Homo-oligomer: A and B are copies of this chain.
Amino acid sequence: MKNMTRSLTFLALIGAAAPPPSLAGFTLKEISPESAACAACHKKESPVIYAQWGSSKHFRANVGCFECHTANKEDPDAYEHYGQYISTIASPKDCARCHEKEVQEFNESHHAKGARILGSLDNTLAEVVEGNRAFKTTAFPDGVSAAAASGCWQCHGAEVKVLQNGRLDPATWPNTGIGRINPDGTEGSCTACHSRHAFSAAQARTPDTCGKCHMGPDHPQIEIYNESKHGIAYRANVDKMNLDNPKWIVGEDYAAAPTCATCHMSATKDQATTHDVGMRISWNNRPEISIRPEIADAKLGLPGKDITWETRRANMINVCINCHNENYVKAFYVQYDALIDLYHGKFAEPGLALYQAAKPLLAGPQFSSKLDFIWYEIWHHEGRRARHGVSMMGPDYTHWHGTYEVAKHFYSEYIPELQELAERHMDSASADKKAAAEALHQLIEATLNHDNHKWYLNKMDPAEKARREQQVKEFQKRYGK
């Protein structure tokens, strides 16, 4: 297994590269007088924060309020608070003083780039289509979209704006989006998963943590997990998961079920834990057409550009084989790839070509036409559900929430809408429009006459049609219709 070897070598190197913590060890001898001063007041003012901290590993290591919130006077978000300079946000840079390896891995991941959605279709939706500029704050005197601030940014991360005295602009904070751009220029929010102020690894390992963002119509990973055998086993055996064990190696420390972390991040006996969540996925199912993760990493300038999907798949298989034999895992990947192929060949590629052909006929801006929404949901919502569903063995999401919805909208909404659009411009006074309408019409015809779609025109191969009609008769007899 060549790929595996490369992968494990790669990961071992990452592990070896972790330098010692820049603080004098993870454990301080005693609590600092500054943190003790914070606690004296906050145990009364914020009793839950105090209690959660008291339940954390930080407490045992004498890492208190001050150790994480301390700031230099000149830091952009520093402010004086009872004689100390502190900042509200503890950024990955702060966390990296003790957790350097984790932060570095995170920095190399897509998660760290979550806030770079400016200019995306989704961003246009939130700012222009759903939003307006009525949300005016000190940092946004011309206004910003409340739909972006309370929607997108809460998962993707805001670019936090600092006001006077270290106060944070309320359009940009509270925010724990995974790719938050912090006042110190760092990207990311460790509390996205390691919630304040217990910072519990156990909680971060629960699938619900990931479900904060990985849920809903366009990326229902938590719903798929809950449907899957993996999720069923987890819910039934959560008490056997040993979730709060510092060492948490599948097959050594727990064997009842995998969580999201198990497969995508946590250690096996061969692989170290990684905070780069893309190192075990072999498809990036985000775009219209799924791409390989190294391509996506290259676009973002991430070092993952050099880690091929085959290596990443070998990494994942190294997790799977703790619970499944290799034949099983390989056959699963045959099924997974086949569904991606089906989605690509039958819907995504022709659908995208049709959309490009329709564009010259769409007068208004994107999302001003129903066609825009139909195509957008086919790939962005339903097509993703199918692809994510199969990737995690959730058959209902693959089929009923996935390919069924894709096909339903392709045939009953997209094609008719395209046909009407072509027809409407067939006799256009504009030669360009007329030509575009003719080209669109031709492409619709070619698409529907393809083997994939000719059933729709009642042009199914007669032998197959007869065979199917026979099956229907037998079914109806069997179920007594």
Interface of A toward B, CB cutoff 8 Å: 45-49, 51-52, 55, 88, 116-120, 123-126, 128-135, 137, 145-147, 149-155, 167-168, 170-171, 173-174, 176, 195, 198, 200, 202-203, 206, 208-209, 211-213, 215-218, 226-229, 231-233, 235-237, 240, 250-252, 255-256, 269, 287, 295-296, 298-300, 321-325, 327-328, 330-332, 334-336, 338-339, 341-342, 345-346, 363-365, 367-370, 372-373, 386, 389-390, 393, 395-404, 406-408, 411-413, 416, 451-452, 455-458, 460, 468, 470-476, 478-480
B209 and A232 within 8 A (CB): yes
State the number of copies, please: 3
From residue A327, how far is it (CB to closest CB) to chain B in Å? Answer: 7
Q: Which residue of B lies closest to A220 (CB)?
A: B396
A89 smallest CB distance to B (angstroms): 11
A372–B235 CA distance with the chains assembled, in angstroms: 38
Q: A412, B370: Cβ atoms under 8 Å? A: yes
A322 CA to B47 CA, complexed, in Å: 6
Given A55-B240, A150-B398, A217-B400, 12 more A-B residue pairs with CB atoms under 8 Å apart are A125-B407, A128-B468, A147-B386, A147-B398, A152-B395, A153-B395, A170-B330, A170-B334, A173-B331, A200-B237, A218-B400, A296-B480
User: Is the Cβ of B46 less than 8 Å from the Cβ of A408?
Assistant: no
- Complex contact A365–B132 (CB within 8 A): no
| A480/B365 in contact, CB under 8 A | no
**Which residues of B are found within 8 Å of A452, using beta-carbon distances?**
132
Is the beta-carbon distance between B365 and A408 smaller than 8 angstroms?
Answer: no
CB proximity of A385 to chain B, nearest CB, Å: 11
A364 nearest in chain B by CB position = B458
Chain B residues contacting A404 (CB-CB under 8 Å) are: 125, 130, 151
B232 near A132 with CB under 8 A, answer no
Identify 8 residue pairs between A and B in the complex whose beta-carbon atoms are under 8 Å apart, listed by A's number: A45-B321, A46-B321, A51-B251, A52-B323, A123-B471, A130-B403, A147-B386, A299-B479
